[in-house]
Amino acid sequence: MIARAALIAAVLIAAAGTARAESLTMALSTTEIEISASFTGTTITAFGVIERDEPTAALPIDADYRVAVLILGPRVSVVARKKDRVLGIWANAESQTIINPPSAYLLNASVDLPRLAAPNVLERLQLGFDNIAFAYQGRATINDPGAAEFRAAFIRLKERARLYSQSGGVDFIGNFVFRTSTRLPATIPVGDYTAIAYLFSGEELVARAEQRIVVSKTGLEATMAAFARTQSLPYGIIVVAMALVIGWLGGVIFRRD
């Protein structure tokens, strides 16, 4: 019995000694984006390097590596509304609050999503529109089928705004280096973003890397946004006063005698 236990222990030690272990390093072309009056969007390029330890280095160079790079925007709750025709007029009808979905979801992958990893892995990592976990106010179930049309409408509108995308675009430069570029539109919300690189081999995740991106306003836009946030009453009065003055000037200029 003791000999058998010793044999099992030796096998486990040997297996642990030959276990593969990759690590992943990612660098971004920028980690700070400043939005000014002339901002028209920007492109972030991510570079990644796959590093292999000594046991893993003995594996064939072509290790069937696949990569996905995901940029997630700050999470903000939104209200999705459904319009219906009432007495011949389109009006808001049902609504559903989606709790803290990512304001941006930009996914690039080196292969088609079904070939990236096993379905349960994609679901766990929330890779692909179908795997994003949506929570709803008043509904206990994640991705409740009863809110499916609100979910679909939310994703569709985000795609139109170019804030949600899923595509290829990850290219390998050699065997262990990859790059991808992601376009961020001019309408990106300010806040903290997260760039995550996933490395897959076989159908499993073997390594990941993560970096933070800060999107902020600068110049007059930043000053006005801070003033509106911290001095909401004076800001509202000034905006109303400006609207009245502009309306009065327009009436004077275009008045017909």
* pLDDT 10s digits, 96-119: 999 999 999 999 999 999 999 999
**Is 50:24 a contact under the CB 8 Å cutoff?**
yes
* pLDDT 10s digits, 175-224: 899 999 999 999 999 999 999 999 998 889 999 999 999 999 886 555 66
* pLDDT 10s digits, 3-44: 444 443 443 334 344 455 789 999 999 999 999 888 999 999
- pTM (predicted TM-score): 0.77
Domain assignment present for 13: no
Same domain, yes or no: 230 and 211: no
Same domain, yes or no: 55 and 86: yes
In the chain, how many domains are there?
2
Q: Which residues contact 227 (CB under 8 A, 6 or more apart)?
A: 234, 235
**CA distance linking residue 104 with residue 102, whole number of Å:** 5
Radius of gyration of the chain (CA): 26
Domain assignment present for 1: no
The pLDDT of residue 8 is 39
Domain that holds residue 246: 219-257
